[in-house]
Amino acid sequence: MIMEEKFDIAVIGAGPAGSMAAWSAAAAGRNVCLLERNNKPGFPVRCGEGIGIRSLTEHSDARPEWIKREITCSAMISPNGTKVNITDIDKSTVLDRERMDGDLAQDAVKAGAQLFVTSPVIEVTRIDGGEYQCRCPQRTIISKIVIIADGVESRVARDLGWSTRLASDDIESCAFTRVTSPLIDADCCIFYVGSSVAPGGYAWIFPRGIGEANVGLGILGTRCTAGKPKELLLQFINRELPGGCIGTLHCGGVPVTRYIRPLVRHGAMLVGDAARQVNCISGAGIHYSLFAGKTAGKVAADAIGAEGVNYSSLTNYEKLWKKRYGKQQERSFALKDFVTHHTDDAFLNRIAATLTKKKSRKIKYLTVFLSTFSRHPMLLFKAFKLFG
């Protein structure tokens, strides 16, 4: 028999965005459920697990157990092999996502949310223009507000009228794995760019400890063919970490486009990868998801009062997101757009040569951005507008 249960707020997907949303809504006193299709939040891990310490601690109560490795330097390798060292900028870490995602879901439970695992939402509908109905194989949830945090594919959002189709130049097709090798630099995250390594994207080695790393690459959809990410990844590992022991290969997509507008439709809110809240250059989305989830959950909780739901106040979530990260994401989109359409390997080599002459502590996002744009006056004008 299919059970029907009622909640103030239903959250779909227990990734960082969904668990933070469930936690903040439950902590604000609402009756919340968190629906996860897998039998364990955070597993299987589909992530490079890299994040800046500041971003992590700003948006979550990070615990020491979440951190697999503290990173002291980063480096970029250009197509001709020039190494640009980037040190003394924001300290980074490589996370244990399985642990972090599990803890975030448990925090939501401790705050009072009900977690249903093995509960894939098959369909969401609005009942007579009012409440929402989430249908899972073994239960049906009725709620006043629904927060959609079902990741990059976000099938559920389509039920409520959003178009979540990604154009092929708005997605990076990734292949990734874990590698053990004595050749891994345990303190440094290394990024490799170039058309033969990862066309329209980059390859990465993120150390998880001595002799172990997450290794992967992303290829822009327009430059990808079936099987290419896995094929290039194996070539990359054999070249950079020869003799390394390669774990299971996985594939996944990273959206590299602007966030979906609107983020709110009546009582439905989109958060995290489902909303395309990702940095378009790095593909990093964990910190955006933590912030978006936390903010959406609180705004949703505040919208519910004794007289009912103030649906129009839910748009505050979009305003807060835009204020905090709108411009940053817009800059990353502009840079991605430029890199995609106006650069080639020779250009990347020139940038690397220029940057190696700078003191590494002076190499910041802005420096890279302005170096990139300096040869293109019209685009430089656009860059100043974005950074103004």
Ligand X SMILES: Cc1cc2nc3c(=O)[nH]c(=O)nc-3n(C[C@H](O)[C@H](O)[C@H](O)COP(=O)(O)OP(=O)(O)OC[C@H]3O[C@@H](n4cnc5c(N)ncnc54)[C@H](O)[C@@H]3O)c2cc1C
By the criterion CB under 6 A, which residues form the site for ligand X?
Answer: 12-18, 35-38, 41, 46-51, 120-121, 149-151, 156, 174, 176, 216, 252, 254, 272-274, 278, 283-286, 289
Q: How far is the CB of 45 from ligand X (least distance, A)?
A: 9
For residue 300, give the H/E element and its range: helix 286-303
103: number of Cβ within 10 Å = 21
Residue whose CB is less far from ligand X, 8 or 36: 36
Burial group, residue 223, by CB count within 10 angstroms (0-12, 13-18, 19+): middle
Residue whose CB is less far from ligand X, 296 or 339: 296
Q: How far is the CB of 260 from ligand X (least distance, A)?
A: 12
Q: How far is the CB of 374 from ligand X (least distance, A)?
A: 29
Q: How far is the CB of 340 from ligand X (least distance, A)?
A: 19
Residue from 244, 254, 253, 236 nearest 196 by CA: 236
**Region of 276 on the Ramachandran plot (φ > 0 left; ψ -120 to 50 alpha; else beta):** left
Q: How far apart are CA 4 and CA 185, in angstroms?
A: 53
Q: How far is the CB of 320 from ligand X (least distance, A)?
A: 17
Q: How far apart are CA 338 and CA 340, in angstroms?
A: 5
What string of DSSP letters covers 252-283? EEEE-SPPPS-SEETTEEE-GGGGT-S-TTT-
Q: How far is the CB of 274 from ligand X (least distance, A)?
A: 6
Residue whose CB is less far from ligand X, 55 or 383: 55
Q: How far is the CB of 286 from ligand X (least distance, A)?
A: 3
Structure tokens at 77: 């390798």
Residue whose CB is less far from ligand X, 176 or 202: 176
Residue whose CB is less far from ligand X, 144 or 178: 178
Q: How far apart are CA 195 and CA 37, in angstroms?
A: 37
Residue whose CB is less far from ligand X, 299 or 383: 299
Residue whose CB is less far from ligand X, 296 or 301: 296
Burial group, residue 71, by CB count within 10 angstroms (0-12, 13-18, 19+): buried
Residues 6 or more apart whose CB falls under 8 angstroms from that of 64 comprise none
